Structure 1
Amino acid sequence: MTTDTLSGKIVTILGGSGFVGRHLAQELLARGARLRIASRHPKKAYAIKPLGNLGQVQFAGVDVTKAETLAPVLAGSDAVINLIGAFAGNLDALQGNGAGEIAAAAKAAGATAFVHVSAIGADAGSAVAYARTKAEGETAVLAAFPSATIVRPSLMFGSDDNFVNMFGELISRLPALPVFAPQARLQPVFVDDVAVAIANALGNVAAQGKTFELAGPEIITMLDLNQRIAKAQGRSRTFVELPDAVSGLIAATTGWLPGAPISSDQLKLLQAGSVASDSAAGLAELGVTPRPLGLFLDRWMVRFRKHGRFGTKTASA
């Protein structure tokens, strides 16, 4: 299957109702693919339907922790993309060995291409269950579907993300904010660049059986990210850099509470950073030139400025 022949092909996206799924669906629909969006709550993906032509999008319910639900939603698929991941719950079933069961089911269904979305920082030796099961999932996928392509995105940003917008909301409301792991190194990547890379991987025989780390064009720190967001809002804010010991204490004592600022595992992942390896293949090998956060931030932060669109970027509040 090449990029030119995605038109008319059935591409099933598991976990397609989330942030990445919405952007990936738009890219694949533009290429003429017929999409089957499968997730535990398919209604959450209904906003995708108007992006396609009549009959181009189908929705299906699936619970990947129950292997018997996989075969019906994967039947007839020419290609399968696995976006399923989580920070809590039965991580082995969701993104560890469970990912291998998904790949095996895709193989049995006759799919000729499989893209598994993992994460930078996947590490089989990690004490953090998220990173460990991500790595175990990669191994399980390749064992079941040797020609699968593994992509490891860095932290993804977009106009509708839950990361940059979360900080944008906090910065717009609070005069001073604590910064956990202020010197943690991040290499944020635009979600639409990731979507193009995944779509390109489906039609790239040279990408089969390989792993790609998808990261943006610049490395920034957590403190720098917060400062950039404040500047884009035209706000003067005080950022308190929390020492690791203080951050660890806060995470340990409050991380288990609903709405806690950060859990112990999240803090460990943040401290480890999210930067691509110098030796890893990346977006360039999948035909994508990454776009920086700065290209979009001023526009996206307009709604958080004082007086919104009627305010000015230089106004302080």
Structure 2
Amino acid sequence: MSAPIDTLVTVFGGSGFLGRHVIRELAKREYRIRVGVRRPELAGHLQPLGRVGQIHAVQANLRYPASVQAAARGASIIVNLVGILAEGGAQTFDAVQAKGADTVARAAAEIGARVVHVSAIGADANSASGYARAKAAGEAAVLAASPSATIFRPSVVFGPEDQFTNRFAGLARISPMLPLIGGGLTRMQPVYVGDVATAVANAVVGKTRPGATYELGGPEVMTMREIIELIVKITQRNSMLMSLPFPLAKIQSYFLQFAPGDLKLTPDQVELLRSDNVVSDAAKSAGLTLEGLGITPDSLAAVAPSYLWRYRKTGQFAHKDT
């Protein structure tokens, strides 16, 4: 078996939130890493994560098969992390998460490379959400082209650069009121980005079952209300929580889908919140979880204070309750 330093891993989507953590983990394990991104000139932040020459960014766009094939060339393992939370221009759910996943899997199959594909809990071909349907189509395409692929379905992922906890913390900083879509009753299992990255690296090493789909969740199942209450507590804000029924949230989303930054809310995101986002009993019974991979997940309460302090009025010097 080749030593890690002799093994090339191509990672698509490696410059994003999850990607930088996966790159760091693979670099620690001494793999050579090629990162396929749309804008290589904007991926310079990845270089310090490894040794000189260990990490190399190349241009690749999942909508253009030739660029994907070029980025995959010579790799023993292909990791696909590409995903979008909202559509924009040519970057549609279908183009990126369905057809794009198919393109990556076919490129890997052509060179006999193993595939590690990151999807999401809630992937469902019959979902009312375009995001969830595209995720399911991507999984099916990957397994059709590469039956031995490992698929990971994380719940909502949190960490220092996320678009989840940071979004609500940012809203709490500027708004006296935070909406609870559907009353905040949707159940989630927030999972730390570092734990997901470790799982991906374990799959690269070969510690996962071929053709298996793993569901990754943190140690606690929480409602959206509980998650937002925790964020408000950590940031020491006084925002009131207001229940927003799904029909009203759907109407507002048609206008807020064009809003900037943290204010953005799309109709598809409202649809996603109609369903719980937790690890299934079937995955637990089969050992297809973080715990099944020997990873003890970190909780939102344990990790979030280490980076959400910056949303307090006086940052890390804010008064702490005794």
Same topology, TM > 0.5: yes
Q: Given the superposition, is the C-alpha separation of residues 235 and 127 from structure 1 closer, same or farther in structure 2, using an over 3 Å criterion?
A: closer
| SS of residue matched to 2:27 | helix
2: CA distance, partners of 1:206 / 1:83: 17
Which position in structure 2 is the counterpart of 1:148?
A: 149
Q: Please, which runs of 5 or more residues in structure 2 have no aligned partner?
A: none
Partner of residue 94, structure 1:
96
Q: C-alpha separation between the residues in 2 aligned to 1:125 and 1:183?
A: 22
Unaligned runs of 5+ in 1: none
Aligned equivalent of 1:23, options 5, 8, 21 = 21
Secondary structure of the structure 2 residue equivalent to 1:207: coil
1:99 positional shift: 1.2
> Identity over the aligned pairs, expressed in percent?
41
Partner of 2:269: 266
Tell me the equivalent position of 1:244.
246
Map 1:71-220 → 2, pairs under 5 A = 71-86=69-84, 87-88=86-87, 89-111=91-113, 113-181=114-182, 182-204=184-206, 206-220=208-222
Give me the TM-score of the superposition, normalised by structure 1.
0.93
Across the aligned residues of Structure 1 and Structure 2, the Cα RMSD in angstroms comes to: 1.8
CA drift at 1:121: 0.4
Counterparts of 1:92 and 1:224, CA distance in 2:
32
The letter of the residue matching 1:262 is L
Question: What per-residue deviation string (whole Å, max 9, x for no partner) do you get for residues 210-269 of structure 1?
Answer: 1001111111111111111111122332111112232122124x1442335411111010
**Aligned partner of 2:313 among 297, 302, 306:** 306
Q: Deviations over 1:169-214 (max 9, x none)?
A: 2112322222223111111100000000011012236521110011
Alignment of 1:52 onto 2:50? yes
CA distance 1:177–1:98, change in 2 (3 Å): closer
Distance 1:110 1:204 in 2: 15
Which residue matches 2:299? 292
What secondary structure, in the 3-state scheme, does the structure 2 residue paired with 1:96 have? helix
- Compared CA separation, residues 255 and 234, structure 1 to 2 (3 A): closer
Asked if structure 1 preserves the Cα contact closer than 8 Å seen for 2:8 and 2:74, the reply is: yes
How many residues are aligned here?
Answer: 311
Match of residue 59 from structure 2: 61
Contact 1:154 1:275 in 2 (8 A): yes
Instruction: Report if aligned partners of 1:155, 1:187 keep a CA contact under 8 Å in 2.
Output: yes
Aligned-residue offset at 1:120: 0.5
Deviates more, 1:274-283 or 1:94-103: 94-103
What SS does structure 2 have at the residue aligned with 1:209?
A: coil
Contact 2:258 2:264 in 1 (8 A): no
TM-score by length of 2: 0.91
2:37 to 36, 39, 43: 39
One-letter code of the match for 2:126?
A: G
User: Whole-Å Cα distance in 2 between the matches of residues 20 and 96 of structure 1?
Assistant: 19
